[in-house]
Chain A
Amino acid sequence: MATILTVDDTASMRQMISFTLNSVGHEVLQASDGREALNILQNKKVDLVITDVNMPNMDGITFVKSLRELNDYKFTPILMLTTESQDTKRQQGKVAGATGWIVKPFNPEQLLTVVKKVLG
């Protein structure tokens, strides 16, 4: 099973994502914003990142750009999980290097399917 990092400033969202992914045996790490996520990723290699877009300190788009600049994470799948659904935001995410875009609220089965797909 994979190691997955979830980044969201809302604790209950992180709990729901962890709960869903833990149920199929994935190891889940949590961060409350982009900056904290980058600190975690310096010490630990993960297989997948699921991040919110609008967060304090460092937003999701900036976080994805920063992550893609790291050699270890050039090809790691990154899913954006956000309330944002506008095409402009999607395009920003795509340009920044995100692998996929999921609009909140997520369906647990749907999330697991997408995670399985991007993990190969």
Chain B
Amino acid sequence: MPRWWLWAMGGLFATWLWAVPFVPWWVALGSGLCAMLTLTVLAFYARQHSNQDDISAVLPPSEDESQEVFEQVDALMSHSKDIEHIPQVEEVLESMAQDNQRRRLDDLMRRWVDVAQRYSEAALVLRREIYSVIKQTEQAANTIASSFEAVINKATIQARQAMELLEGTQGATSDDGTPQSLKDFIQVSDERLNKMADEVVRVADLSVNMVRELDGVQTRTQAIDGFLLDVEKLADQTSLLALNADIEAARVGEHGRGFSVVAQEVRRLSQRSHEFSDRIRQHLKEVRSGLSRTYGNMRTLSAADMEHALTIKEDVISLTRSLEGKNREVAETVSRINEISKEIAQDVRNVVISLQFHDITSQKLSGMLEPMDELRRTLYHLMQETVSLDKNLLKNLPKNERWLSRLQEETLPAPEIEPPKEPARKESTPEPPRLREATDNGPAVELF
């Protein structure tokens, strides 16, 4: 089609150019503005019509093509004598609607079978995973239980030996009186050391007494010295008397000779008495000297004994106090061990309760499989019926035989895994180690 608006725009512009030299300036300006306005309108119109021309360029048919189509229809119409029955329009529409419905049903069926296939595969994976979890937790629980038992047994032996060792320090003596415990050892040692200290003190006291006795003996020896002087005086007087008697006998003459002999004998006795007195004094001197030495030794000894005895006694008391302190510490340790043993017993109880939850959770998981397997079983029978009705139904589904066989697998137990046990209980599981005292349906313990 001719683009007339372009020609119109050009003509208008040329007319304005031609008129400009012949009209006043204000007429030329006014006509120029009008011409520009008109040109803008025409340009907008031209752009719109240009888009329509682009669309119309891709749209068939042209007049020639339409002519070809009419010729083909005429050729087909020339063979119309070969068709025996031409259905009515209503029949054709009804048939098309039925075909459409069947195709939709087939499509729905395929989608349904596809969903069933996906479910069966997911259910099998889930089933294997659940069994795997049960198996792994069972192994872990068994290992924990064995280790726990071993640890507790060793801890029990350890505690028992520690208690035996510590209780030994608190026990009794043996039959022969030998101390068997630290406590008895302290007691026996204390008694014996005290006894020994007392003995030493007693010996020291005796020494003091002996020194005192020696003092008395020395005083008495001095008295003996006095007695000896008296004896010597008596001997001197006797000797003088014998001399006088001898003089008197000589004056008498022959008749006094006998008397003279007696006087000489008396003098001789007096001399012997002197000699005897000297010897006694000599012995007495030696005795006194010995007593004096003994006295000195005894004083030294008694002072040392007393000092030593007091030191020993203080040491014994100090040692006993120290041992008693140790013994108290041992008793406190025994007490602490007893408390720890009670705490361990409580912990053991909690662990024993907690380890049982593996059994309960395993049964709950196994119980979850029951409804799932039931659904798979139902699905399997339903699909068998469906497939027997229409073999072509599953033609377009990939792996159709495989998924059907998978549905069948539910009859086989999982490899090396125990079959599911009892179904899970309805009530919720309490958190370990808290123990449920009574269930929803009765007490935790009941004797019939």
Q: Which of these, A83, A86, A93, contacts B359 with CB under 8 Å?
A: A83
Q: Which of these, A12, A54, A99, contacts B448 with CB under 8 Å?
A: A99
Q: Which of these, B149, B360, B362, contacts A15 with CB under 8 Å?
A: B149
Q: Does B77 contact A (CB under 8 A)?
A: no
Q: Measured between alpha carbons, how far is A65 from B107 in the docked complex, in Å? A: 57
Q: Which of B342-365 contact A (CB under 8 A)?
A: 348-349, 352-360, 362-363
**Closest B residue to A84 using CB positions:** B422
Residues of A within 8 A of B441 (CB): 85-87, 90
A99 and B447 within 8 A (CB) = yes
Q: Does A101 contact B (CB under 8 A)?
A: yes
Q: Does A119 contact B (CB under 8 A)?
A: no
Residues of A within 8 A of B440 (CB): 85
B446 and A11 within 8 A (CB) = no
Residues of A within 8 A of B359 (CB): 8, 10, 12-13, 83, 104
Q: Measured between alpha carbons, how far is A11 from B356 in the docked complex, in Å? A: 10
Q: Measured between alpha carbons, how far is A103 from B437 in the docked complex, in Å? A: 9
Q: Which of these, A100, A101, A105, contacts B360 with CB under 8 Å?
A: A105
B142 and A19 within 8 A (CB) = no
A103 and B447 within 8 A (CB) = no
Interface size of A as a range: 35 or more
Residues of B within 8 A of A55 (CB): 421
- Min Cβ gap A68→B in Å is 13
A12 and B358 within 8 A (CB) = yes
A104 and B149 within 8 A (CB) = no
- Min Cβ gap A110→B in Å is 6
Residues of B within 8 A of A25 (CB): none
Q: Does B109 contact A (CB under 8 A)?
A: no
**Closest B residue to A107 using CB positions:** B435
Q: Measured between alpha carbons, how far is A70 from B161 in the docked complex, in Å? A: 45
Q: Measured between alpha carbons, how far is A109 from B412 in the docked complex, in Å? A: 42
Q: Which of these, A15, A100, A106, A110, contacts B145 with CB under 8 Å?
A: A15
CB-defined interface of B142-156 with A at 8 Å, one 1/0 digit per residue?
101110110010000
Number of interface residues of B (CB under 8 A): 41
Residues of A within 8 A of B138 (CB): 10-12
B142 and A12 within 8 A (CB) = yes
Known interface pairs A19-B152, A109-B349; A83-B422 also in contact (CB < 8 Å): yes
A85 and B421 within 8 A (CB) = no
**Closest B residue to A97 using CB positions:** B448
CB-defined interface of A76-100 with B at 8 Å, one 1/0 digit per residue?
0000001111110010011000111
- Min Cβ gap B337→A in Å is 18
Known interface pairs A13-B359, A83-B422; A94-B448 also in contact (CB < 8 Å): yes
Q: Measured between alpha carbons, how far is A90 from B446 in the docked complex, in Å? A: 9
Q: Does A28 contact B (CB under 8 A)?
A: no
- Min Cβ gap A21→B in Å is 11
Q: Does B94 contact A (CB under 8 A)?
A: no
Q: Does A2 contact B (CB under 8 A)?
A: no
- Min Cβ gap B135→A in Å is 12
Residues of B within 8 A of A109 (CB): 349
A98 and B448 within 8 A (CB) = yes
**Closest A residue to B140 using CB positions:** A12
Q: Measured between alpha carbons, how far is A106 from B142 in the docked complex, in Å? A: 17
Residues of B within 8 A of A105 (CB): 353-354, 356-357, 360, 432, 435-436
CB-defined interface of B119-160 with A at 8 Å, one 1/0 digit per residue?
000000000000000000010011011101100100000000
A101 and B422 within 8 A (CB) = no
Residues of B within 8 A of A53 (CB): 422
Q: Which of these, B142, B355, B439, B445, contacts A100 with CB under 8 Å?
A: B445
Q: Which of these, B349, B427, B436, contacts A108 with CB under 8 Å?
A: B349
Residues of B within 8 A of A103 (CB): 436, 439, 442-445
| B349, B356, B425 pick with most chain A CB within 10 angstroms | B356
Residues of A within 8 A of B422 (CB): 53-54, 82-84
Q: List 28 A-B contacts (CB under 8 A).
A: A10-B359, A11-B145, A12-B138, A12-B356, A12-B358, A15-B355, A19-B352, A54-B421, A82-B422, A83-B359, A83-B363, A84-B422, A85-B425, A85-B440, A90-B441, A100-B447, A101-B445, A101-B447, A101-B448, A103-B445, A105-B357, A105-B435, A105-B436, A109-B349, A114-B445, A114-B447, A117-B447, A118-B447
9 nearest CB pairs, A to B: A54-B422, A105-B356, A85-B439, A100-B447, A12-B141, A15-B145, A12-B145, A10-B359, A103-B444
